[in-house]
Structure 1
Amino acid sequence: MKMARILAGLGGAAALAACASAVASSEPQGAAAPAAATSLDDAQKAAMAAVMRNGSYLPKGTAPNSLLFNPPPPAPGSAAMARDEEGARAAIAMQGTARWEQAKIDANLFTPSVTDTFSCAAGFRIGPETTPRVQALLLKSMMDFGLASYPTKNRYQRARPFMENGKATCTPDQEAVLRKDGSYPSGHSTIGFGMGLILADLVPDRAGELVARGRAFGESRRICNVHWLSDIEEGRVVAATVFARLNADPVFAADMAAARAELAEKRASLAAPDCARENAALAM
């Protein structure tokens, strides 16, 4: 159940806790476990079953060690910490706005919502019905990206912004789990930016839009008042490092080729999603 508790800390809360030991072979060395959430509804159980089926790409002990490239988080009283605090104050001012509502949506790591996040940036609907090979690739890599942040998280156990400023988060139901899960670096930022990098490789004519959406996915965690700016920035560093490592994995390479072939066959027939609301929110 150690893996389940780690996944719960990534912010999927109750549903992510269902992954249990089915993907234990991918657990990074040194990744201790935050407390698990409980109480799953049927939809959440079904969503997490898909993650369990996909597992992860990198065998135990082969993922990059984030402690080698993540510096310590900003020290109290430092200029870097003042920058983080200013970022948190700016985020609090956005509570109740359309950008705050988008942060609630981006907090959801349940499938298929997490992959559909990139549909507007891609220009077509990404999901199990429309792009099943792309979907499977993203879900499997999600485990590698998210868990790679844990060596650094567990070393520093940084307190999250809402624990320091006492203000609301966009996911109050997840706060009990998040209090026990280190803030630095952001697992959501790592996952979002990592997926953006994969999709940019698959859809190069939309690379700018896809990387920007991955960046915004992480930025939603600052808006939500659950991560500092530096947490999000270092999550992107973890994502880039894991993506480089994944590109050396033959199974990942084969799945990328299959996803590319799927898009070559289907993309022209896929309808563009309605993106007016999302575009307006992200423009704030």
Structure 2
Amino acid sequence: MRKLLPLLTVLILTGLTPVQAEEAKPFADAKEIDLVTILPPPPANDSAQTKAELGEVLTLQVTRTPEMVANAQADAVEDVWRFANVMGPEFNKDRLPKFSAFFDRVVATEGAVVDPAKDVFKRPRPHQLSDLVKPAVKISNSGAWPSGHTTVGTLMGIVLSNMVPEKKAEIMARAWDYGNNRIVGGIHYRSDVEMGRIAGSVIAATIMRHDDFKAEFAEARTELRHSLGLPDLAH
């Protein structure tokens, strides 16, 4: 209890509850971006496509290397700091408070938009369809269509590459791997990942028009570019 007192004192003085301190407000939700009307329905469980995709998951299960498994497990975390390997050592959460808070909102947007669509589409994940599938990442039993991790990876990649266009190719390649690792991990089919890339692109295109996004993006971009030793971009 003594350890909690300093934190509670700060929260009281700032007018924040522990829940408020942790939550980030999405830039959009499923009412604005209705993926059920944008994405096609998933293939049937007994379709040739699903059977082929299940075969790919099972093949990867016996061919994936320890390094591939480690990468898939590391990418199970949904945050922008997974791009550190392409952004460099100055890409550090402690150095980038505005950037970090901004991307907390970006990540929250994915859940607000994607989760309701998953509940409607209700596509079973590979391990739910076949007992032969042994995922190498944490089990999830939410709907598979679209892949939320791929959606947020694509969304983060697009936004981040707009901040640092000098690294756009590397950033988007990293975002692509982020999605692929859901197949490697055995928790998604390839078409789930493809739909996630579409969803992430649609969300990015939509929220980039919002005034609050524009304002916070500009501040986060300036902070990031200064930290990376890059010149400011013309507006």
- The residue number in structure 1 matching 2:54 is 85
Aligned amino acid, residue 100 of structure 1:
V
Task: Report the Cα distance in structure 1 between the residues aligned to 2:66 and 2:208, rounded to whole angstroms.
Answer: 39
1:56 has 2:26 as partner: yes
1:278 corresponds in structure 2 to none
Distance 1:249 1:91, change over 3 A: same
In structure 2, the partner of 1:154 is 119
**Paired residue type of 1:129:** D
Q: How does 1:118-137 map to 2 (within 5 A)?
A: 118-137=83-102
Q: Please report how far the alpha carbon of residue 194 of structure 1 lies from its aligned counterpart in structure 2 after TM superposition.
A: 0.6
Q: Give the alignment's Cα RMSD to 1 decimal.
A: 2.2
Which deviates the most, 240-249 or 141-150? Answer: 141-150
Q: Which amino acid aligns with 1:254?
A: A
- Output the TM-score relative to the length of structure 1: 0.68
Spell out the pairing of 1:1-284 with structure 2 (5 A cutoff). Answer: 51-52=22-23, 54-58=24-28, 61-62=31-32, 64-95=33-64, 97-109=66-78, 114-166=79-131, 167-171=133-137, 174-175=138-139, 178-179=140-141, 181-268=142-229
Q: Is the 8 A contact 1:127 1:135 kept in 2?
A: no
Matched-pair contact (CA < 8 Å) for 1:169–1:225: yes
Whether contact under 8 Å (2:161, 2:171) holds in the other structure is yes
CA deviation map 1:59-112 (0-9, x unaligned): 6732x1001111111124434224312321232124552011111111123xxx
Scaled by the length of structure 2, the TM-score of the pair is: 0.81
When residues 264 and 104 of structure 1 are mapped into structure 2, their CA distance, relative to the original with a 3 A threshold, is closer
* Preserved contact between residue 164 and residue 225 of structure 2 (Cα < 8 Å): no
Q: Gaps (5+ residues) in structure 2?
A: 1-17, 231-235
Deviations 1:200-238 (A, max 9, x none): 100101111111111211211111111111111101111
SS of the equivalent of 1:185 reads coil
Taking structure 1 as reference, are residues 264 and 125 closer, same or farther at Cα in structure 2, changes over 3 Å only?
A: closer
How far residue 50 of structure 1 moved from its aligned partner, in angstroms, is: 5.9
Deviations 1:160-189 (A, max 9, x none): 111223232223xx43xx22x111111111
Matched length? 212
Are the equivalent residues in 2 in contact too, given 1:160–1:182 (CA < 8 A)? yes
Distance 1:50 1:200 in 2: 28
Aligned-pair CA distance for 1:199: 0.5
| CA drift at 1:137 | 1.5
- Give the aligned partner of residue 26 of structure 1: none
Query: 1:61 is aligned with what amino acid?
Result: K
Identity %: 25
- CA distance, structure 1, for counterparts of residue 61 and residue 110 of structure 2: 28
Aligned residue in 1 for 2:8: none
Deviation of residue 129 (structure 1)?
Answer: 0.9
Q: Which amino acid aligns with 1:58?
A: A
**Residues 50 and 135 (structure 1), Cα distance of their counterparts in 2 relative to 1, 3 Å cut:** farther
Q: In the superposition, relative to structure 1, how do residues 150 and 60 fare at CA in structure 2: closer, same or farther (>3 Å)?
A: closer
Unaligned runs of 5+ in 1: 1-45, 270-284
Task: Deviation per CA, 1:224-279: give whole Å up to 9, x if none.
Answer: 1111111111011111111011111111101111122113322129xxxxxxxxxx
**Distance (Å, rounded) in 1 between the aligned partners of 2:149 and 2:116:** 15
CA contact under 8 A between 2:73 and 2:185: conserved in structure 1?
Answer: yes
